[in-house]
Amino acid sequence: MKMFVYLAISSCIIAPLHAQTSNDYLKDAVAALGKKQYDQAIKLATKAINTDPKNVEALATRATIYGAADKYAEAAADFTRILALEPKLADAYDSRGRLHFKAGKIKEAIADFDKYIELEPKAKISHWQRGIAYYYANRFDDGKAQFEGYQDFDSNDVENAVWRFMCMARKDGIDKARKDMLKIGNDKRVPMRQIYDLYKGDLKPDDVFSAVKAGEPGETQLNNRNFYAHLYVGIYHELLGDKKRAYEHLNTATEQHRIGHYMWDVARIHRDLLKKVK
């Protein structure tokens, strides 16, 4: 009996436990990400990469986690590793471009967007992110052209008209931008119609904020409305030369009305640029 127990224990010690695979670590990392346990998710994704350094899925997963944790440079670095393994993976250029933008690296973002469009020419017309990057690179003609192209993709998007307006206003002045403002169809998002009319010169900022509260929106919807109202009212004030008021609105959008969308990072970057000059 004693010998049987000894052998059993010995076999447990000698026999290795089931080693976790890269996919096992990834599954756990995704679960941790779902719980917003970013540090734990990063550790698990890193274990997956260490287990299989050429696992593109593992690198992309960790990049996603880094991005969710606002670690944009680290996320971009993972996509650089992916592109070393898969140089023609178009989506990796697009993803890294967005991360470069969020990290404030505008020229690098444009270079990646250009490469993405080179590999996926059909994406050119709808790539509003490149248009926004052009704006911050002071490439206003290129930005204007990008937004004009997007109009053929979606003629109901007020934001597209506003960003084209912004490019024109910075280069040719507000009066010309207003006279040549794109015609927009039915953008059902509140308060987009009021934002359009604000830039066109037919409404005041207070009219935009009055529209935000219409219809008794729920908490999430109200937060989204407030974000876009403060973002575009802020930019409007900047175009009129009032950088102090512009900063206040953009700071409110960024700090009090965060949304899970690329445009939140746009607001943050715009706010930070204003902070340097206000």
Prediction pTM value: 0.91
* The predicted structure's pLDDT at residue 210: 96
* The predicted structure's pLDDT at residue 188: 94
**What pLDDT, in 10s, does the model give residues 227-265?**
999 999 999 999 999 999 999 999 999 999 999 999 999
Question: Does residue 170 register a pLDDT over 80?
Answer: yes
Kindly report the number of other CB atoms within 10 A of residue 59's CB atom.
Answer: 26
Cα–Cα distance between 96 and 113 in angstroms, integer? 9
Query: 104 phi and psi, to 5 degrees?
Result: 85, 10
DSSP assignments along 37-73, one per residue: -HHHHHHHHHHHHHH-TT-HHHHHHHHHHHHHTT-HH
Token code pair at residue 111: 């270079």
Cα–Cα distance between 41 and 68 in angstroms, integer? 11
Domain positions in the chain are: 19-124
What phi-psi label fits residue 104: left (phi over 0), alpha (psi between -120 and 50 degrees) or beta?
left
**What pLDDT, in 10s, does the model give residues 65-109?**
999 999 999 999 999 999 999 999 999 999 999 999 999 999 999
Between 47 and 20, residue with greater pLDDT: 47
* The predicted structure's pLDDT at residue 38: 98
Calculate mean pLDDT across residues 113-125.
98
19-124 belongs to which homologous superfamily?
Tetratricopeptide repeat domain (1.25.40.10)
Cα–Cα distance between 271 and 219 in angstroms, integer? 24
The answer to whether 246 and 265 are in contact (CB under 8 A) is no
